[in-house]
A and B are shown apart, each in its own frame.
Chain A
Amino acid sequence: MTMKNLRGRVAFKFDEIDFDVDQIVGVKNIKTTNMDELSKAAMQEYDPGFASAVRPGDLLVGNHNFGYGHPHYPPMKAMRHMGIAGVLAESFSPGYWRGEISMGFPQVSCPGILAFVERWDEIEVDWAAQCVRNLTQGTSIAFEPLPRADLEMLEAGGLETYLKKRFLNEPT
């Protein structure tokens, strides 16, 4: 495993089960392509001060079935634009999971995560040890191992690079 551990603060906890990520930017902004504009629109319903509080490397935490509904890519594009480095949730909706992993955006399925962290706790995702450490509270919790292909996609930084690597080894 060559992937660098994620380390940052819990920038937000989404308590809602079956959370529809489109709500992050609001449906009326879902077609916005300008990243600065999209980031300005993001999180207005949840915490208007979010963009100014976030630091590069910070992480999001979600509840069960995170990403349910009909997820689009712009909300998490905005999150990455603001410096968010990954999402940890109790569990994920498969369509959302697949989409974000393909963008090279780390997603970590970690039962118990919601109770394990407070907002702004400093945490670390240790890929090799398959655990999340709460550096603020000095505790640790295991996460569910990712499928090999998903890890390779994250290591490659996304779908395209992952496929190009494979293409060189197994031409059609």
Chain B
Amino acid sequence: MGSTITEKILARVSGLPSVKAGDEVMAKPDFVLAYDFPGYTDVIFKQMKNDFGIDKVAEPERFGIFIDHMVPAISPAEEELHKGTREWTTINDVKLYERRGIGHQVSSEVGYATPGAFVVHFDGHVSQLGTFGTLAMGLRRNVLEAFALERVSIRVPQTTRVDLVGKLPPGVMARDVFHHLVRVLGPASCRFQVLEIGGPAVADMSNDALQTITGLAMFTGAVTAIVNPDARRLDYALPRARKKLEPVYSDDDAVYAARHEIDLSRLEPIVVIPPSPANTRDLKDYLGLPIHTGYLGSCASGRIEDMRAAAQVLAGRKVADGFALHVVPTSQEIMVAAAKEGLIEVFAAAGAFVSSPSCDYCFGRIATMAPGQRAVSTGTLNVRGRMGSPDSEIYLCNAAVLAASAVEGKLADPRPYLLG
């Protein structure tokens, strides 16, 4: 009986020859990541010192801290938090990535997405490192376990395997694939499991697309998502890898809790209607709905592929009168690439507000909506109050749909723009 990639990674970090789903193990994460956030890092840093007497972490190279929320700070208290984070990383000799972009993306850029590695964070969207064969989990408050102790207690998860076949039609993107998956499998389909993405279509998919899909895994109930890293993934990840590890792969006879196949060629653009990420609907049923603002960005969808799709729609066009479009590349590296390709010029010329990378648009800290307003968003989430007033609404969609909706001031199909 074979093993899944997840079982192989967890066996190695638990110091065991093999583990099976259901086993309870003590696993030593290769990397422990976090972004500074009140109630998380400030509390953890204090607890480490006061409750555990840890003045300095034992293996600083295992830790990575990001400043990506509250960037730029809008109050002295926020800047104080960042100051505390800078002090902690200096004292602990831990790498700090400030203003480089959203940490989950920067993690890949700087090599924490080491194929075969086990990574923990408090935030579940770190699952996107799974694109590169990295097992990356969000532990919420329990990440303290990884800061204060060497090992974390974990029950080896079962795996649901989804095989992607066929080719995506124009105007349909990775966002549509993921939300289609939530629709057909269900928002509880992968509870406490790993979502393993495979199948022949993966080879033709960009890292960007797979990061989108794996980064949203939590909305299927999964604890993370992972891809068996092919040549395209390894070409990106291995030269940057922060640790020498042999990539591992699921065996052909690995045991899965369930197996599904999705034919990409049959997908259409979707929208996820408020107030739940479980509400996948066909875009065609919502065309014409008035929209006031748009957010193109986030750790899920603000990469160069998303920027290109939006720019293709926006080139030579203007954002509708009264529509507030915010374009926020996920990282500085992506922003530079977008500038070189002339995409930033397209956005600015169309009337978009183009911002340096920040997490703050995704949760309404800036570009905040008033009651009654409605957004299209490529952000992670559409729950009530996520981008401002509890009485505002968020429709999640892909970057092309977002751009077409910005042009029309209402939910719009991007395909006429892309084909014409």
Contact = CB atoms under 8 A, between A and B. Distances in A.
B188 interface: yes
B383 A95 contact: no
B188 A98 contact: no
Given A68-B276, A167-B52, A99 B188 contact: no
A56 interface: no
Contacts of B151: 170
A70 interface: yes
A18 B383 CA distance: 13
B24 A27 contact: no
A2 to B, nearest CB: 19
| Chain A interface extent, by class | 20 to 34
Interface in A69-118: 69-70, 91-95, 98-99, 102-103
Contacts of A170: 149-151
Nearest to A162: B145
Interface string A144-157: 00011100000000
Given A70-B381, A70-B386, A159 B221 contact: no
B188 A102 contact: no
A124 interface: no
A57 interface: no
Contacts, number: 96
Interface string B180-211: 00000001100110000000000000000000
A64 B140 contact: no
Given A93-B221, A149-B24, A167-B149, A159 B278 contact: no
B221 A94 contact: yes
A30 interface: yes
B144 interface: yes
Contacts of A92: 191
Q: Is the interface of B mostly helix, strand, loop or mixed?
A: loop
A163 interface: yes
Nearest to A90: B188
Given A20-B383, A28-B390, A172-B150, A160 B144 contact: yes
Interface in B144-171: 144-145, 148-151, 153-155
A28 B364 CA distance: 13
Interface residues of B, number: 39
A69 to B, nearest CB: 5
A167 B58 CA distance: 14
Contacts of B144: 159-160, 163
A18 B24 CA distance: 27
A69 B52 CA distance: 33
Contacts of A98: 139-142
A30 B150 CA distance: 34
Contacts of B278: 18, 68
Contact of B145 (A28, A69, A159): A159
B140 A99 contact: yes
Contacts of B141: 98-99, 102-103, 159
B51 interface: yes
B390 A27 contact: yes
Contacts of A122: none
Contacts of A99: 140-141
Nearest to B223: A94
B350 interface: no
A65 B218 contact: no
Given A27-B383, A68-B278, A147-B155, A95 B138 contact: yes
A147 B23 CA distance: 9
B145 A30 contact: no
A65 B219 CA distance: 11
A21 to B, nearest CB: 11
A163 B145 contact: yes
A69 B380 CA distance: 11
B95 interface: no
Given A147-B155, A160-B144, A18 B187 contact: yes
Contacts of B188: 17-18, 64-65, 68, 91, 93
Contact of B191 (A30, A93, A172): A93
Contacts of B139: 98
Interface in B258-278: 275-278
Interface of A: 17-18, 20, 22, 26-28, 30, 64-65, 68-70, 91-95, 98-99, 102-103, 147-149, 159-160, 163-164, 166-167, 170, 172
23 contacts: A26-B390, A27-B390, A28-B385, A30-B385, A64-B188, A69-B277, A70-B381, A70-B386, A91-B188, A94-B222, A94-B223, A95-B218, A98-B140, A98-B142, A102-B141, A103-B141, A149-B24, A163-B145, A164-B51, A164-B52, A166-B149, A167-B52, A172-B150
Given A65-B191, A69-B381, A163-B145, 9 more contacts: A17-B188, A27-B390, A70-B383, A98-B140, A98-B141, A99-B140, A102-B142, A147-B153, A160-B144
Interface of B: 24, 47, 51-52, 54, 58, 124, 138-142, 144-145, 148-151, 153-155, 187-188, 191-192, 218, 221-223, 275-278, 381, 383-386, 390
Q: Which 6 A-B pairs have the closest CB atoms?
A: A149-B153, A27-B385, A65-B188, A27-B390, A27-B384, A147-B155
